[in-house]
Amino acid sequence: MPPFALHGIDHVVLRVGDVDAMQAFYCTVLGCTVERRQEPIGLLQLRAGTSLIDLVAVDGPLGRAGGAAPGAEGRNMDHFCLRIAPFDRDGLAAHLVAHGVRLGEFGSRYGAEGEGPSQYLFDPEGNLVELKGPPGVP
């Protein structure tokens, strides 16, 4: 056993082509807030509850170190999941559609708190995001 305990996800880092569009999506549609900007390295940090979503410009100093930009031939990651409450499937879908968000599959999926409702969606650069509700909610 390691000499420490894991407490959860601290942050997720996405390499992005259009920081402004991604900031608008994560703040306007999903409710994140701007935490901090580090312009010299091309990093924008967004607050997502107790975690951060870091947006790294692929054409900035930090982003260039990661190689080619994500695209149809490859993504930064499979997906990441944000826990939300309450989970109102119809209200959530209406909100996302009103913002022009491309929806993925809805289903019941297992997460950190157990089995519960889950909606996949895509951000403006095609990253798969999961919004997960509490366990036991249909």
Q: Hey, what are 125's tokens?
A: 């650069």
The string of pLDDT tens digits covering residues 16-52 is: 999 999 999 999 999 999 999 999 999 999 999 999 9
What's the pLDDT score for residue 138? 66
* Residue among 74, 79, 86, 75 at smallest CA distance from 129: 79
How confident is the prediction for the chain on average, in pLDDT? 89
Contact 127, 81 (CB under 8 A): no
The string of pLDDT tens digits covering residues 106-122 is: 999 989 888 999 999 99
The string of pLDDT tens digits covering residues 58-116 is: 888 888 887 777 777 767 777 899 999 999 999 999 999 999 999 999 999 989 888 99
- 39: Cβ contacts below 8 Å, ≥ 6 apart: none
| Superfamily of the domain at 11-132 | 2,3-Dihydroxybiphenyl 1,2-Dioxygenase, domain 1 (3.10.180.10)
What's the pLDDT score for residue 69? 75
Q: What global pTM score does this model have?
A: 0.84
What's the pLDDT score for residue 3? 66
**What is the rounded distance in angstroms from the CA atom of residue 19 to the CA atom of residue 32?**
14
The distance in angstroms from the start CA to the end CA of the chain is 37
* Residue among 72, 76, 71, 74 at smallest CA distance from 15: 76
**Domain residue spans of the chain:** 11-132
**Cα separations in angstroms, 93 against 13, 90, 97, 102, 113:** 26, 5, 6, 10, 22
